[in-house]
Amino acid sequence: MASPPWYKIAGSYKADGRPTFKFTVSRIYRLAIQILTSLMLLPLDTFILLSAALLNHFHLLHHQQRHNRQLLLQNPRFYPKTILITGINTTRGLKLARQFYYGGHRVIGADVGLSLIRSGGSMSNTIFTYYSLSSSKAQYVSSMIDIIHREKVDLWIPYSDNVNQIDDAIAKSTIESRTSCRCLHLNVDYVALFSRDDSFIQHVRERGLPVIERHNVQSRDSVHRILNRSPNKAYLIHKTSKGTLRDAVSLPKSTPSQTYAEVSMIAISKDKPWVLKQRARLGNYWADLVLVRGVVRAMKVRPLRPQLSIKNDSKMETGLYETIRRLMDEFAERAGPRISGHLSIKIMVDEEIAPNSVSYIVYIGGCRQGSIAVAGLLDDDPPSNLYSSYLELLSPEVNGIVDSDIKSQVYTKSKPSREWTNYSTAWNQIHIPVPSVVQSAEELWIKIQRLRDSVMNFVPFVDRMENFSVLDPLPWWWHYHVSQPVNGIFSLFDGEVEIQ
């Protein structure tokens, strides 16, 4: 395929033509491991690649996905769409491209922020055409519009990690005003509103949803007033300056006298205010969402720190996940049909102890935007029909066929439970005996998970088969044996200026 006129190769030289090196011990170590592993596994991986290619060429394996695509294309009522996915070099971009392709659609792939060697995803046989775009703001929008006009794109899904949210929002606004293409991304006003936790929390509070408390306090009296007003809540108080919360103080203490003594030692004034914010005693969660026209079309709930999540009682965990799901549905409904995009909303779980019961309550505590924020949903194990949820943006035609009966895909760790009436779930005097052996096993499992995460940070290729597909093996081979090692070597140089 001929390169489009804006095609450029990311250079490794500054404007003065002299290379700038980015050598660090960790980067060199990671690169050495990548190259060594690539060379060691090259014969085996090449054998796997050729075997898969032969099986596909002679149609020795029957695959339902391929058969379904053929049936769809033979259906006279089916109207395939042209889908543009930026960020085809990401795991989520490649997986979504395959879903759209086997769903009968035409996929255009693009990467933003160029590398010397094209990405593995660009080699996929599910990609009809591939473009490599400059990340320059001056060229980004015009290049996107050119592609959309040239390929007659119906839907654009931004998955690139190299473009910030506001730039994609500006591109969306321009594209939708000049073309018939729809873009699954938040509008500019939503991106600006949700980019700061305080404005996001205020937005949610105004819509009557439960949010975490956060106060800027300028005196000790104001601290005591807040603590006395909500005696069942726990707080952290810290300085307003950004950084670690190592010096944060937990309030209230065991007794009122200890609380007063602790607060009296804090130097609070109008010139030096502190932040008093509610603390989640039962852990934090992320709710990864795909929102389409104000409806949650896909969701996955994951704990921020697994060792702090509620694990000891399946009924409790099931009720918690169901409550979070209902809260997210309510959030989307109150945001309205103008909201479409990817959001990961922070959920904080707290407890309120009464004489005869313990109530577990969920609050909204912040959010992150973009496909990278919901990688837990899109990368790890995306819903098998996620693509049909995206096509809801082109309503009333869904998946090329008129159909409005699309169910929300909700992925949690628990089975469905009964409906809950509000956002707090209470049980009378819950006592959960957990034998010491179970606690020891859980602690051991947490340590194993931490070790695995640490290994993955320094030894890539641990989950190297996640992009492999028997029907589409080349992207996997190309990424690990061509694109990743070669681009890794050139990434040691600073590439601020692109070489024409």
The pLDDT of residue 465 is 73
Out of 1-5, 92-96, 436-440, 486-490, give the one with best mean pLDDT.
Answer: 92-96
494: confidence class by pLDDT, cuts 50, 70, 90: low
d(CA 360, CA 233) in angstroms, rounded, equals 12
* Residues 6 or more apart whose Cβ sits within 8 Å of residue 496: 14, 15
Residue 208 has pLDDT above 80, yes or no: yes
Residue 437 has pLDDT above 60, yes or no: no
More confident residue, 385 or 123: 123
C-alpha neighbours within 13 Å on the C-beta side of residue 223: 30
Average pLDDT over every residue of 418-435:
36
Q: Where are the domains of the chain?
A: 9-185+454-499, 213-278, 284-432
User: Could you report the per-residue pLDDT of 47-58, keeping only the tens digit for each?
Assistant: 999 998 998 888
User: Could you report the per-residue pLDDT of 94-104, keeping only the tens digit for each?
Assistant: 999 999 999 99
d(CA 223, CA 382) in angstroms, rounded, equals 45
Asked if 76 and 85 touch (Cβ cutoff 8 Å), the reply is no
For 213-278, CATH gives: 3.30.1490
The pLDDT of residue 21 is 52
356 burial type by CB count under 10 A (0-12 exposed, 13-18 middle, 19+ buried): exposed
Asked if 253 and 220 touch (Cβ cutoff 8 Å), the reply is no
The CATH superfamily of 9-185+454-499 is: NAD(P)-binding Rossmann-like Domain (3.40.50.720)
CA 199 to chain centre: 21
Average pLDDT over every residue of 174-191:
95
Degrees (nearest 5) of the Cα angle 32, 34, 38? 120
d(CA 83, CA 95) in angstroms, rounded, equals 14
Rg from Cα positions in the chain: 26
Residue 121 has pLDDT above 80, yes or no: yes
* Residues 6 or more apart whose Cβ sits within 8 Å of residue 214: 198, 201, 275, 276, 277, 278
**Quick one: what percent of the chain has pLDDT higher than 90?**
42
The pLDDT of residue 27 is 76
d(CA 267, CA 167) in angstroms, rounded, equals 42
The pLDDT of residue 454 is 53
Residue 406 has pLDDT above 50, yes or no: no
Task: Show the beta-strand stretches assigned E in 320-381.
Answer: 341-354, 357-369
Q: Pull the structure tokens for residue 382.
A: 């995306």
Asked if 363 and 278 touch (Cβ cutoff 8 Å), the reply is yes
The pLDDT of residue 463 is 60
User: Could you report the per-residue pLDDT of 331-354, keeping only the tens digit for each?
Assistant: 999 999 999 999 999 999 988 777
Asked if 87 and 111 touch (Cβ cutoff 8 Å), the reply is yes
Residue 430 has pLDDT above 60, yes or no: no
**Where does residue 345 fall: left (phi above 0), alpha (psi -120 to 50 degrees), or beta otherwise?**
beta
The pLDDT of residue 96 is 96
Asked if 311 and 442 touch (Cβ cutoff 8 Å), the reply is yes
CB atoms within 10 A of CB 214: 15
* Least confident range of 29-33, 181-185, 191-195, 292-296: 29-33
d(CA 291, CA 295) in angstroms, rounded, equals 5
User: Judging by DSSP bridges, how do beta strands 82-86 and 106-112 pair with one another?
Assistant: parallel
* Least confident range of 77-86, 209-218, 242-251: 242-251
Residue 375 has pLDDT above 90, yes or no: no
